[in-house]
A and B are shown apart, each in its own frame.
Chain A
Amino acid sequence: MDNIYINSSIVILFLPLLAFIIQIFIGKRLPRQGDWVSISAILITLFLAAYMFISMLSQYDPNFKHESSFMWMDLGDFKIQLGFLVDNITIIMLLVVALISSCTHIFSLKYLEGDIRYSRYYAYLGLFTFSMNGIVLANNLVSMYIFWELVGVSSYLLIGHWFEKDSAANAAKKAFLTNRVGDIGFFIGIMTIFTAVGSFAFTDIFEGVAIGSIEGATLTFAGICLFAGAMGKSSQFPLHIWLPDAMEGPTPVSALMHAATMVAAGVYLSVRIFPLMTPDALLFVAYIGGFTALFAAAIALTQNDIKKVLAYSTVSQLGYMILAVGTGVYTAAFFHLLTHAMFKANLFFGSGSVIHSMHHALHKKHDHKTDPQDMRNMGGFKEKMPITFWSMTISTLAIAGVPFFSGFLSKDAILGGTLSFAQQHPQHFLLPMFGFGAAAMTAFYMFRMIFMTFYGKPQMPELYKDIHESPREMTGPLVLLGSLSIFIFYTLPYFNPFSTHGWFTDLVVAKDSFVPGNISAHEIAEHAHHAHMPALVLSLSVAGLGILVAGLMYLKKSLSADAWANNSGPLYKLSLNKFYFDENYDRFLYQPLMKLADKVAYFDWELYDKYFINGFGRITSWLSDISGKFDFDGIDQGLVDGVGRSAKQVGHSLRNIQTGRIQNYILYVLAGAILMIIIQAV
């Protein structure tokens, strides 16, 4: 392993783990509870990732790839190799993780100042960064699965950071368990592929697919199972329920894990396994993604909690990426992952900044009843928090798909790909409708959030005077990530704001699928190119429509939101209540399961334990009673003690002869001699 990229990757991987170990064991005893340990570790990681990124840019080679494996398990014929894979996608992803993670570390300095588990929080951040980098660097499914689970654990730990609150503890459990459902699918998929191909490494698997070791329905099944893991992690319908609840965690954690990186792991996995997906599997992926995009956006329309809006927005945007993978433009999915990571993390940091400010203002008033996250308590923060306002606005423009911002480029690529897919397969006309519908709703709910938070009259004037801009540790990441939402960082060295053409498209080039007979990457790109113009016009108009309606409703107040809500019949209630998913899962899934578990527990305890297990115990106790009696009375008392007693009695009677008088002994000798003489004579 003398490759500089591999070596740097190893350092990038293990440095956060080192920080985790230091923090968890001695963090509390260090000055400032050791936050500087974590921060310096993550900054070195960022520096290395940036170095790798720059060196990748200077090579400018789309086929850039370094791989290194080592033997992990060698059991005769059964061998497992683990290893690292460093290519363009890996390096971009490493940089994203390191960058957002660094921002989170710095942002948390103030956001979690004085928290009771401050050092532990930083420890878990390190653990998360380690696991996420592990997923990114994996060149095989096994180590990816291991780190996949580690990410799940760190997510569990961080969502439950304030576990004194029942809601946080429950949300952590929900996130972990929902992810487990997907992970089981992932595991089945891995095993299906391993059985057919005999290796876990991506290159071997693709080779196996190309020569037909695994094909047809089996391959479709394996692909869908692997994708199930992505559905859990990336919170796709019907496993989306955990992500909104995960907002119980600290807001910087939401920005890092539940917006930018961890939930993107599912998309990353889909991008990695794209070359083995059959058309049927891809269609499944596309419909799941498209439906999630639309339906999560529909929920986000009516939420009042600022973080809930962002959470559903994240679900919806992840749906977009999955949709893009399903329709074949998987580089667009990865592009959107990259841009989305920046602006969504920024939006979360912005909401964190607002919540922080609200929290302090409420604290001054000794008001612990008002919800600091409810947008109905905000309004007019624009003057008080200019930096937060401007950075959030830029990110909102980006997510809504307004030109000159990053989101426009990536969203346009996805919508173009989806549209061209529908042009090729007219029976799947629903997919672009999902996409464009979600785009309109995204523009609406994001601007609704901005207008409700930063414009209009303050809804709680008594709080308003205590609202102030957050400290530099919090605005710094905002400014940085806000500026990274501008198009130019993604199109360099070109300056056309309407074309995605740039270093990204030059370096991340779609590869042909390895599934025999699949449409080639070149054809997909060709079709997408034709659909580019109509997609661009359409997406601009739906985004404009969404922004316009939001403006009329929440800025000008010329449309009454309440009247619309009343006129929309059950739709409004459905959206507000998140389509009753939690309730229905509860009624149709959890309750029957609980009842079944009760029945099984009844059988287990009342019948099995009480009669069978306890019966065993009773019989054993009865047997040992008898055996004990026999042992004590028969063996001990009769045999063992009997030997002793008889010896004692014999000794007792023999004692009488031993008088101690020699004359008696002589007499006995004489008697004996006479006896012998008599016997002799007879």
Chain B
Amino acid sequence: MDQLVNYLYISAILFSLGLFGVITRRNGIAVLMGVELILNAANINFVAFSRFGGMNLSGHVFSLFVIVLAAAEAAVALAIIITIYNSMQTVNVDDASSMKQ
């Protein structure tokens, strides 16, 4: 069971779920959650390749960076969503298109 391809399956499922969430959800927070799933799918890949690929710990380090980055991104994105909610009383991304022509 301890094989690389299983990790890749998990990762692919996770990525597809995340992408599905990003594409289909109207709610901004749900879209963010999809983005988190995609990032974590990538993390799994990093770690799996690092473990099975015979490399050093660089894959682990990379995924640590991505987690930090995701945290920062989530913080900024949530702040933006809260601001949008304050001004528009909605978190629906389709409604927040006033910049669109």
A contact set with B: CB distance below 8 Å: 660-663, 666-667, 670
Q: Tell me whether B24 and A670 are in contact (CB under 8 A).
A: no
Rounded to whole angstroms, the CA-CA distance of A661 and B23 in the bound complex is: 10
B residues 62-101 in Cβ contact with A at 8 Å: 93-94, 97, 100-101
Q: Tell me whether A666 and B97 are in contact (CB under 8 A).
A: no
Q: Tell me whether B23 and A666 are in contact (CB under 8 A).
A: yes
Contacts of B47 in A (CB 8 A): none
Q: Tell me whether A663 and B23 are in contact (CB under 8 A).
A: yes
Q: Given that A667-B23, A670-B19, A670-B23 are contacting pairs, would A662 and B93 also be in contact in the complex, using a CB cutoff of 8 Å?
A: yes
Most central of B22, B23, B93, B97 by chain A CB within 10 Å:
B23
Q: Tell me whether B22 and A663 are in contact (CB under 8 A).
A: yes
How far, in Å, is A567 (CB) from chain B's closest CB? 121
> Given contacts A660-B101, A663-B23, A670-B19, could you give 14 more A-B pairs where the C-beta distance is less than 8 Å?
A660-B97, A660-B100, A661-B94, A661-B97, A662-B93, A663-B22, A663-B24, A663-B31, A663-B93, A666-B19, A666-B22, A666-B23, A667-B23, A670-B23
A-B contacts, 10 listed (Cβ < 8 Å) = A660-B100, A660-B101, A663-B22, A663-B24, A663-B93, A666-B19, A666-B22, A666-B23, A667-B23, A670-B23
Rounded to whole angstroms, the CA-CA distance of A484 and B100 in the bound complex is: 113
B residues 29-49 in Cβ contact with A at 8 Å: 31
Rounded to whole angstroms, the CA-CA distance of A660 and B95 in the bound complex is: 11
Rounded to whole angstroms, the CA-CA distance of A661 and B97 in the bound complex is: 8
Most central of A661, A662, A663, A670 by chain B CB within 10 Å:
A663
Q: Residue on A with the closest CB to B99?
A: A660
How far, in Å, is A73 (CB) from chain B's closest CB? 79
Rounded to whole angstroms, the CA-CA distance of A351 and B55 in the bound complex is: 141
Contacts of B23 in A (CB 8 A): 663, 666-667, 670
Contacts of B94 in A (CB 8 A): 661
How far, in Å, is A676 (CB) from chain B's closest CB? 16
B3-39 interface mask toward A, CB cutoff 8 Å, 1 = contact, 0 = none? 0000000000000000100111000000100000000
Contacts of A663 in B (CB 8 A): 22-24, 31, 93
How far, in Å, is B14 (CB) from chain A's closest CB? 15
Rounded to whole angstroms, the CA-CA distance of A539 and B46 in the bound complex is: 150
Top 5 A-B pairs, shortest CB-CB distance: A660-B100, A663-B23, A667-B23, A666-B23, A660-B97
Rounded to whole angstroms, the CA-CA distance of A660 and B19 in the bound complex is: 18
Contacts of B100 in A (CB 8 A): 660
How far, in Å, is A660 (CB) from chain B's closest CB? 4
Rounded to whole angstroms, the CA-CA distance of A352 and B97 in the bound complex is: 108
Contacts of A667 in B (CB 8 A): 23
How far, in Å, is B101 (CB) from chain A's closest CB? 8
Rounded to whole angstroms, the CA-CA distance of A10 and B97 in the bound complex is: 97
How far, in Å, is A39 (CB) from chain B's closest CB? 90
Rounded to whole angstroms, the CA-CA distance of A446 and B23 in the bound complex is: 132
Contacts of B101 in A (CB 8 A): 660
Contacts of A666 in B (CB 8 A): 19, 22-23
Contacts of B22 in A (CB 8 A): 663, 666
Contacts of B19 in A (CB 8 A): 666, 670
Contacts of B24 in A (CB 8 A): 663
Q: Residue on A with the closest CB to B100?
A: A660
Q: Residue on B with the closest CB to A662?
A: B93
Contacts of A661 in B (CB 8 A): 94, 97
Contacts of B93 in A (CB 8 A): 662-663
Rounded to whole angstroms, the CA-CA distance of A107 and B22 in the bound complex is: 119
Rounded to whole angstroms, the CA-CA distance of A666 and B35 in the bound complex is: 12
How far, in Å, is B90 (CB) from chain A's closest CB? 15
How far, in Å, is B19 (CB) from chain A's closest CB? 7
How far, in Å, is A619 (CB) from chain B's closest CB? 56
Rounded to whole angstroms, the CA-CA distance of A667 and B101 in the bound complex is: 21
Rounded to whole angstroms, the CA-CA distance of A660 and B31 in the bound complex is: 16
Q: Residue on B with the closest CB to A659?
A: B100
Q: Residue on B with the closest CB to A664?
A: B23
Rounded to whole angstroms, the CA-CA distance of A667 and B22 in the bound complex is: 10
Rounded to whole angstroms, the CA-CA distance of A74 and B65 in the bound complex is: 99
Rounded to whole angstroms, the CA-CA distance of A667 and B21 in the bound complex is: 12
Rounded to whole angstroms, the CA-CA distance of A198 and B60 in the bound complex is: 115
How far, in Å, is B30 (CB) from chain A's closest CB? 11
